[in-house]
Copies of this chain bind each other. A is one copy, B any other.
Amino acid sequence: MHKLVVLLALAGGIAPAQELTGRWVVTADYYGTPVNIRLSLQQQGEKLTGTFQGDKLEGSLSGGTVHFVARDDDGNSATVDAKLAGGALTGTMVLADADDPQRPRKHSFTASKVEPRRGGPSRHHEFTPSVFYRQFSPFNKPVLTVAPGDTIHTTTVDAGGADEKSVTRVLGGNPETGPFYIETAAPGDILVVHLNRLKLNRDWAGSDDFLVPRAVDSDLAVKMKDAGKSIRWHLDLARGVATPEKPSEHLKQYSVPLGPMLGCIATAPSLAQAPPPTGDSGRFGGNMDFNEIVEGATVYLPVSVPGALLYLGDGHAAQGDGELNGNALETSMDVEFTVDVIPQKRIQSPRVESATHIMAVGLEGSLDDAFRTATASMAQWLADDYKLTPSEIAQVLGTAAEYRIGEVADRNAGVVLKLNKERLAALK
């Protein structure tokens, strides 16, 4: 190392090669709103290459000062100047549109490096929640920081806010446990959540005898006009069944098998987006109310902010497809899950994987639109991971598609496209 470099490094300025090289998360100030930008740097001596929000950049490091320019295919450019101090970058970016170069926009920013994946054994965390959030917000302070590969054991309150002791802890509306900060997770990654265990931890669930508007035609609406009262279900954990506590005449023998599931699992959306309520869903996951998000399932969600910020909640002891009552058998839950991070891979919508199937979840304002999104999302999956051509995608979907209706109770309807792994095994 050149003496000057040593000097500068000692002065807190320059970084050794290994310091700049890597993935960074930039947080820029867009007129008062924070915005995350993806940055990847390779340092060779004073030369810098890499990508800035996916576009190629070239620049230099000189005396603790970073300068680079990135350009996209349309000729729009970003010119970045920053100081390196304490492992962080602080500076400005000037964005210029190719067709309006006279009006560049200047934003200040800070950037920090995505923490490297830690070595060593993965850890087990016991976490007892004390606060429950009602928005999938990137601004809530993480309740726990974990590493990829770590396992967390915790509990969730029911949709109405009551915990395993039937104590109401928070106003209802699917209050969530979390957010959990997962190290190394950066915008553009995928968060992987494997549900090791979903265990019921009390003996009752709340539901009702309503049918949601999306499920009724005008005749059925008239028939159901007096429905809508609360129904409390007894959860017989030993026998593995749920029964109405006070069954009416024809339901005296009626029971359903317990099928513990999580109605909500989400990452935080991006900083610039209004934090969604915990009754909502979208590309970030959320209140999907899909009854195959059960013990043993793996859920894949996009990472939009550093640490991903994972939320879980809205446990159901059992639920028919669609959550037709608006409420399923709402109850508290004992949850154990293991997290992982797949770096720099995009998914179009939430994915779920079971022992037998891969599943793409479409969440839109109507079943017709959710159906299209589920199909398009699975087509993307087959193109990305199985390298299928459009013609091949059509042939596989046409012969192997299995659709389930996930959810009709909330603002978004959910349709799930499932493919049996036996079909897929021959594609690899």
Contacts and interface: CB of A to CB of B under 8 A. Distances in A.
A401 interface: yes
A368 interface: yes
A427 B211 CA distance: 20
Interface string A349-369: 000000000000000111111
A274 B272 contact: no
Contact of A398 (B32, B105, B320): B320
Contacts of A248: 389, 391-392
B276 A395 contact: no
A134, A280, A371 — most chain B CB neighbours (10 Å): A371
B221 A221 contact: yes
Contacts of A411: 365
Nearest to A244: B395
A103, A254, A383, A423 — most chain B CB neighbours (10 Å): A254
A274 B273 contact: no
A426 B254 contact: yes
A248 B394 CA distance: 12
A122 interface: no
A30 interface: yes
A31 B278 CA distance: 16
A227 B395 CA distance: 10
A324 interface: yes
Contact of A392 (B166, B251, B372, B426): B251
A103 to B, nearest CB: 8
A33 B172 CA distance: 10
A64 interface: no
A180 B426 CA distance: 43
Contacts of A179: none
Given A391-B229, A404-B404, A379 B223 contact: yes
A218 B394 CA distance: 15
A63 interface: no
A5 interface: no
A375 interface: yes
Contacts of A223: 379, 383, 390
B33 A250 contact: no
Contact of A209 (B229, B375, B395, B415): B395
Interface in A364-415: 364-369, 371-373, 375-376, 379, 383, 386-405, 408, 411-413, 415
Given A35-B171, A368-B367, A209 B405 contact: no
A401 B222 contact: no
A428 to B, nearest CB: 9
A250 B427 contact: yes
Interface string A226-246: 110111000000000010100
A276 B279 CA distance: 13
A321 B395 CA distance: 13
Contacts of A221: 216, 218-219, 221-222
A217 interface: yes
B423 A254 contact: yes
A2 interface: no
Contact of A395 (B231, B376, B383): B231
Given A99-B230, A322-B403, A324-B397, 13 more contacts: A32-B170, A33-B134, A209-B395, A211-B397, A217-B372, A217-B375, A227-B390, A231-B395, A250-B386, A318-B399, A321-B403, A324-B401, A365-B413
21 contacts: A135-B274, A209-B391, A209-B392, A217-B375, A224-B394, A225-B225, A226-B390, A229-B391, A250-B387, A254-B396, A256-B400, A274-B278, A320-B398, A325-B394, A365-B365, A365-B413, A368-B368, A368-B413, A403-B404, A404-B404, A405-B415
Q: A-B pairs with the 5 shortest C-beta distances?
A: A365-B365, A274-B277, A218-B221, A325-B398, A320-B401
